[in-house]
Amino acid sequence: MATIASTKRTASTSLILLLGAAVFLNYIDRGAIGIAAPVMKDDLGLSEEEYGLIFSAFFWIYAPVQLFAGWLCDRFSVYRLMSGGILLWAVSTLLMGFAGGFTSLLVLRIMLGVGESISFPGSSKLIARHVPPERRGIANATVAAGLALGPALGTLAGGLILGSLGWQAIFIVFGIVTLLWLVPWRQTVLALPTEGHLDGGAKVPVAQLLSKWPLWSMSIVHALGNYCFYFLLAWLPLFLTKSRGFSIAEMTFLATLGYAVQGACALGYGHFSDWWTRSGRSEAAIRRGMMVVSQLVAAGAILGLAYAHSALMIGLLLCLAGAASAALSLNLYAVAQMFAGPRAAGTWVGVQNAIGNVSGIIGPIITAMVVQRSGYDSAFLLTAAVAAVGALWWMVGVPRIEQVQID
Calpha distance 234→283 (Å, rounded): 33
DSSP state of 197: G
Are the beta carbons of 67 and 206 closer than 8 angstroms?
yes
pLDDT score recorded for residue 187: 85
pLDDT score recorded for residue 39: 86
Calpha distance 37→43 (Å, rounded): 9
Calpha distance 384→90 (Å, rounded): 33
> How distant, in Å, are the alpha carbons of 6, 141, 209 from that of 12?
10, 14, 28
> How distant, in Å, are the alpha carbons of 90, 118, 260, 388 from that of 382?
34, 31, 25, 10
Mean pLDDT by 10 residues, the chain (407 residues): 57 87 90 84 83 81 83 86 94 92 90 91 87 83 83 81 88 94 88 63 75 94 90 82 84 84 88 89 92 94 91 92 88 90 84 86 84 86 95 95 84
pLDDT score recorded for residue 202: 58
pLDDT score recorded for residue 1: 45
Sign of CA dihedral 195, 146, 57, 177: negative
Q: Among 1.20.1250.20, 3.40.50.450, 3.40.718.10, 1.10.3470.10, what is the CATH number of 2-396?
A: 1.20.1250.20
Going by C-alpha positions, the residue among 20, 13, 275, 282 that lies closest to residue 130 is 13
Calpha distance 143→266 (Å, rounded): 9
Sign of CA dihedral 222, 216, 362, 108: positive
DSSP state of 204: P
**Ramachandran angles phi, psi of 45, nearest 5°:** 65, 40
Sorted by where each begins, the domain ranges of the chain are 2-396
